[in-house]
Amino acid sequence: MSTDKYHFTNQFSFKNIETIRDEGVALLDIFEENEDKLYGIDFLPKAMMNAYIYDSYFNVYYRSKQKEAIAAHKVYEERFLKVILTIMGYSHDTYVESDELLKKHGTDIMAIPADTMGNVHLAKPRKNWRYFYQRFRNEKPEKQIDLLSLFQQAFRDYTDVVIYLCDLQIILFFSDLYVVCLIENEESREFLEHICTTEGLYLRS
């Protein structure tokens, strides 16, 4: 594997995406250079101007430690989780980036396993042959990313997460109940918007 941890970014055609390899260049800089392809996933259709109404009923900050805010946050969080995990389920070439990954995996970018891709049907999960082979050889299965826990930490503003969906030409960034999206083509935008609508969220520019 290439020693360049951002080797997969050459699959994207966003303006200046290759500069993310350079020291001091942040992903948010790339977002700013591609404003025409920038969207956001939110639980509001657009920014709310009435601060009183927003603070009283919609400011559901998890780390406020208030029971009502935490309970409301978890309701919205579940919607965001479903959207993120659903769109990831349709990608065969996905990378997740977060500083939290360093603690358990020794790297801040990891590929999501894609060696058993195919049509998925709703049925009882089956362990694949590799699991039984490792068990027979008394080998420990490779440690997998606990995506659910990682994403929850990000939605609760404890860490940042970036998801690169290379084949869908989508990059997602989130650190609270708002997801910044960089989307290359209309087909992927419409698909993500459909998923958001299904879960009661909005994809807005």
* pLDDT (tens digit per residue) in 29-46: 999 999 999 999 999 888
Tally the domains of the chain. Answer: 1
Residue 22 lies inside a defined structural domain of this protein: no
Give the pTM.
Answer: 0.82
Helix (H) or strand (E) holding 7: none
Domain hosting 149: range is 35-58+67-113+127-204
* Selected residue with higher pLDDT from 1 and 200: 200
Residue 66's pLDDT band (cuts 50, 70, 90): confident
DSSP state of 160: -
DSSP state of 193: H
Residue 134's pLDDT band (cuts 50, 70, 90): low
DSSP state of 66: -
- Rg (the chain; Cα; Å): 18
Predicted pLDDT at 53? 79
Residue 158 lies inside a defined structural domain of this protein: yes
Residue 115's pLDDT band (cuts 50, 70, 90): low
Residue 166 near residue 176, CB atoms below 8 Å? no
Residue 180 lies inside a defined structural domain of this protein: yes
Residue 5 near residue 107, CB atoms below 8 Å? yes
- 63, pLDDT greater than 70: no
Predicted pLDDT at 2? 46
Residue 38 near residue 173, CB atoms below 8 Å? no
pLDDT, tens digit (0-9, with 9 covering 90-100), for 16-28: 998 887 766 788 8
Closest among 48, 52, 68, 51 to 60, alpha carbons compared? 68
Distance CA 95, CA 164 (A): 5
Residue 28 lies inside a defined structural domain of this protein: no
Residue 13 lies inside a defined structural domain of this protein: no
Predicted pLDDT at 202? 95
Query: At residue 81, what is the residue type?
Result: L
